[in-house]
Amino acid sequence: MDFLNNYIYYIGAFGLFFIGLYTMLIKKNLIKIIIGLTLLDSGIYLFFVAVGYLHKGTAPIISGHSPASEKMVDPVPQALILTAIVIGVSILALALSLAVKLYQHYHTLNIKNIKELKW
Amino acid sequence: MRKIISILLLFILTAGFTLCLLDIPFGEQKTKVGNYYINNGARETGAANIVTSVVVNYRGFDTLGEITILFTAAIGLAAVLGHPKKNKDPQPKEPASLIVYTGYRILFPFMLLFGAYIFIHGHLTPGGGFQGGAVIASAFILMYMSSKDKKINPTAVKIIESLAGLTFVGTAAAALTLGRPFLSNFMPKGEFMTLLSAGIIPVIYIAVGFKVGAEFSGIIHDLTGGN
């Protein structure tokens, strides 16, 4: 139980990461592969924020009433993830646009039927 | 076969990650740099939200780079999708239901206002340019979902985006004329925890908010079929 208390956030984050990776490796449909990519992204965001967490820490925002001795969680991972989420969305949009173009050209989203993707 | 190899790969990765993660304690003090920002961030930058002071001030170069990535992705998306050919007989679009349309008409200005509130108060409350821009873009998603004729003006979006980017770089470069390093906080810090405080941080975050909002709206416009 103690182990779960300590590591549940890591387990959740990497569970999401592995679900995303599995989806990307197994699925044949391009849209599903892109969904896997975003799941993998979310796992990494969760992991970063979990690493910055502090027991009984507050959000790293100074409000007039908080005493100076109060503990705050690490602001650096939050700042990194803040921008990473936006980048993730733009990557998702770019991937979707490529999927749209592939569908217009081959009339299928199944990567098995797109011969030029094989190597 | 492919499935077995993939699952095997995942197991190897799981074992590796588990070994690494067991050495990272959860919920304990880890980094010195985070403590430095917490203890000195408010005094050095004048922003009550320490995450904002890290994003815009301490790691301003990083934010500039990420804005550039966002810009490149939007350009790439527009280049990939290009100008869609006009369909000979386009399927007639179904109008959205009355509920969605009425909801759009009532909520749209408030969503824009809320987005603007989030990025103007980025240095005081949770929020900032990226979040506010995303809220504004969600207002435009609602617009595209609810009505079939309303469209944003792509030229105006590009102009807003460019002006916001120029504001960011210009504010950062203005410090050079005063003999200070690029992106240093040269404006007066003002009174702590008021709207007009923290020097260049609100200026840059408002520019980021406009840029992210305009870029996401442009992406939505391109993805829904463009012109």
Query: Which pLDDT belongs to residue B182?
Result: 81
d(CA B48, CA B26): 26
Query: Which of A54, A55, A60 lies closest to B51 in CB terms?
Result: A60
Q: Is residue A51 part of a domain?
A: yes
Encode pLDDT of B39-73 as tens digits: 777 777 777 888 888 888 888 888 888 888 888 88
Q: Is residue A62 part of a domain?
A: no
d(CA B201, CA B55): 9
The torsion defined by the Cα of B82, B86, B89 and B94, in degrees rounded to 10, comes to 60
Q: Is residue A26 part of a domain?
A: yes
Chain B residues 144-183 with a CB less than 8 Å from chain A: none
Coil, strand or helix at B49: strand
Q: Is residue A52 part of a domain?
A: yes
- Domain count for chain B: 1
Q: Which residues, in sequence order, are CB contacts of A22 under 8 Å at separation 6+?
A: A36, B6, B7, B10
- Residue B29: list chain A partners with CB under 8 A: 54
ipTM of the complex: 0.79
- Residue B126: list chain A partners with CB under 8 A: 59, 61
CB count in 10 Å sphere of residue B24: 13
Is residue B73 within 8 angstroms of chain A, CB to CB? Answer: yes
Q: Is residue A35 part of a domain?
A: yes
Cβ contact B2–A25 (<8 Å): yes
Query: Which of A51, A82, A94 lies closest to B76 in CB terms?
Result: A94
Cβ contact B26–A96 (<8 Å): no
Could you identify the residue written with the tokens 């369909």?
B87
CB count in 10 Å sphere of residue A95: 18
Is residue B75 within 8 angstroms of chain A, CB to CB? Answer: no
Number of H helices, E strands in chain A: 3, 0
Q: Is residue A63 part of a domain?
A: no
- Residue B27: list chain A partners with CB under 8 A: 6, 53-55, 57
Query: Of the segments B7-11, B33-37, B78-82, B178-182, which one has the largest average pLDDT value?
Result: B7-11
Domain range holding A93? 2-57+70-117
d(CA A79, CA B137): 21
Best of B9, B19, B50 to mutate (most A CBs within 10 Å, chain A): B50
3-state helix, strand, coil in chain B (%, to 5): 70, 0, 30
- Domain count for chain A: 1
Contact yes or no for B154/B215 (Cβ under 8 A): no
Here the tokens at position B123 are: 């240095």
Domain range holding B198? 50-223
Query: Which pLDDT belongs to residue B187?
Result: 76
Encode pLDDT of A73-106 as tens digits: 888 888 888 888 888 888 898 898 888 888 888 8
Q: Is residue B198 part of a domain?
A: yes
Q: Is residue A65 part of a domain?
A: no
Is residue B16 within 8 angstroms of chain A, CB to CB? Answer: no
Q: What is the mean pLDDT of each run of 10 residues along chain A (119 residues)?
A: 76 88 88 92 89 79 65 84 86 88 85 73
d(CA A70, CA B39): 11
Could you identify the residue written with the tokens 């000979």?
B88
Query: Which of B80, B81, B130 lies closest to A82 in CB terms?
Result: B130
Q: Is residue A64 part of a domain?
A: no
Cβ contact A74–B30 (<8 Å): yes
Could you identify the residue written with the tokens 């208390």?
A5
Cβ contact A62–B24 (<8 Å): no
Q: What CATH number did the domain enclosing A27 receive?
A: 1.10.287.3510
Query: Which pLDDT belongs to residue B89?
Result: 55
